[in-house]
Amino acid sequence: MLEYNWIVVPIGMLMGYFIVAAEPAVHVLNKQVYELTNGMIPKKALSVSLSIGVCASVGLAMIRILTGLPIMYLLLPGYIFSLVLSFFVPPMFTAIAFDSGGVASGPMTATFLLPLAMGVCSAVGGDIATDAFGIVAMVAMTPLITIQILGVMFRIKTGAGIKANETETIVEDIIEMEGDA
């Protein structure tokens, strides 16, 4: 048993923040989003949003391990919140957010965070079968929220968000790229 159980929360959050930088698919996503939006969504903003999302999810997962809170108490409200947010952001951000959820929970994340959760659960005397699993689901959920919050900030900053003609240009660029392949 750990004497100071709470220490796993900030350590896990720190690991979560930096593990996104090691995820190869995140770099590809950042580059594609930057190119398809003509630089309207900077790589740094997307990367930091993903890092904050994964940081929050690992922190919540560690708190869940320490308290024994059922995972549905976190996943259900999180997904409901992300679906509600989708009505207030430009559609492009919703698409990027859902792509980001899959990208952030890639091989690096699963390889490092799942054993971390299992080790923490074992160290604090929790039940590995019920408490340790679900960290990848949390990591897949929180980028949906953070990227859409980025979309809300983008909409506030630009006024009405992306105009219809700009969206059509982006869609035409995507179609051209697919047609070239």
**pLDDT digit string, tens, across residues 72-104:** 999 999 999 999 999 999 999 999 999 998 898
The total of structural domains in the chain comes to 1
Poorest-pLDDT segment among 3-7, 93-97, 146-150, 161-165:
161-165
What pLDDT shows up at residue 164?
Answer: 47
Q: Give the separation between CA 79 and CA 65, rounded to whole angstroms.
A: 20
Q: pTM of the entire structure?
A: 0.81
Instruction: Evaluate whether 54 touches 143 at the Cβ level (below 8 Å).
Output: yes
Q: Give the separation between CA 69 and CA 61, rounded to whole angstroms.
A: 9
Supply the range of the domain harboring residue 159.
Answer: 5-180
- pLDDT > 80? residue 36: yes
Poorest-pLDDT segment among 20-24, 128-132, 157-161:
157-161
Q: Which of the four pLDDT bands, split at 50, 70 and 90, describes residue 127?
A: confident
Amino acid making up residue 99: D
Residue reference for tokens 């160290």: 123
What pLDDT shows up at residue 169?
Answer: 54
